Amino acid sequence: MTPMPPSRAMAMATRDSGAVAMAAVTDPSELDRLEFISALRGDATSDVYAGKLAKVEEFLREGATRGQIISELGNGSEAFNSVPTAIYLFLANAGDFQRTVVEAASLGGDADTIASMSGGIAGALLGSSGLPAGWLERLERRTELERLASDLFFLHVRRTLGGRCEMCFSEESVWAYKLDEAGGNDISNFILLCRSCRSEMEREKEGLFARPRKHGKYRAVYRKAHKRA
C-alpha cells in the first residue's frame, strides 16, 4: 500500500478531529444531528469541504442510498472524499457504534479509513460502554490501547487545569486525580496534585472531604471540592 502523503494525512486528521471533539462533549441523549452538522459547516475552511458537508445535511434530512453516499460524498483516501462520508455515517447511525462501523466498512474504496474515522467519532460520543462487548474482548493490545487513551485524557485535563499542583504549586510529577470517583469525567471533577501532596491528601482524605478548612495549603483543593455543595 502506498503511504498517504503527510499533507493529505494532516488535512484528514484536522477535519476529523473537529467532529471527534464535538462528539466527546455531547450527551448521547441530546445529540441533534442537524445542529451537529451545522456547527461543522460553520468551521469549514474550503469550498469543497463545505459543499460536501452541505450534502451530508441534505442526506440527513432526506436519506441516501449506498450509491448516493459513494458518488456524492465519496469513499476515497482524499480527506474531502472520506471525512464527510465518515461524519454522515456517524450521524445517520448515531447511538449505534456497530452499525456505523459495519456500514462504513461495506462501502468499498478506502473502507478501513472511513470505518476507523466514523467509529472514532461514535466512540467519542458513546464512550467505552457504548462499544460492543464482543469486539472489545477480541481487540488486540486492548490493555495498551486503554492505557494510552487514559493517559491522553488525563494529559488533556492536566493542560486544561494549568499544570501545577493545587496544593503546593509544584510543576514536578503532577497528575490529574478525580475528586469524586462516581462524578464522571467533567473537568470540574478533577484536581492536579503532585506525588507528595497526593500521598498526604490520601492520609487525610476522610477529614479533608468531611469539612473544608479555611486556611493552609489545602485551601485550593477545599474550595474546588466543596464549591458544588
Per-residue pLDDT tens digits for 159-172: 888 888 888 888 88
More confident residue, 184 or 104: 104
Task: Give domain limits for the chain.
Answer: 6-136, 142-226
Q: Tell me which of 1.10.4080.10, 1.10.3720.10, 3.30.930.10, 1.10.10.1200 is the CATH number of domain 6-136.
A: 1.10.4080.10
- Tell me the mean pLDDT in the region 70-97: 91
Task: List C-alpha distances in Å: 159 to 21, 155, 162.
Answer: 16, 6, 5
Give per-residue pLDDT as tens, 116-171. Answer: 999 999 998 998 888 999 999 999 999 999 899 888 888 888 888 888 888 888 88
Beta-carbon count within 10 A of 119 CB:
22
Backbone phi, psi, residue 192, to 5°: -100, 130
- According to the model, what pLDDT value does residue 226 have? 46
Segments in 43-141 forming alpha helices (H): 47-62, 66-68, 83-92, 97-105, 111-126, 133-137
Distance (Å, whole) CA 191 – CA 217: 14
Contacts of 23 (CB under 8 A, 6+ apart): 36, 90, 121, 122, 124, 125
Task: List C-alpha distances in Å: 147 to 42, 154, 159.
Answer: 34, 11, 18
pLDDT at 7 over 70: no
DSSP 131: S
Distance (Å, whole) CA 169 – CA 163: 9
- Strongest mean pLDDT among 90-99, 174-183, 215-224: 90-99
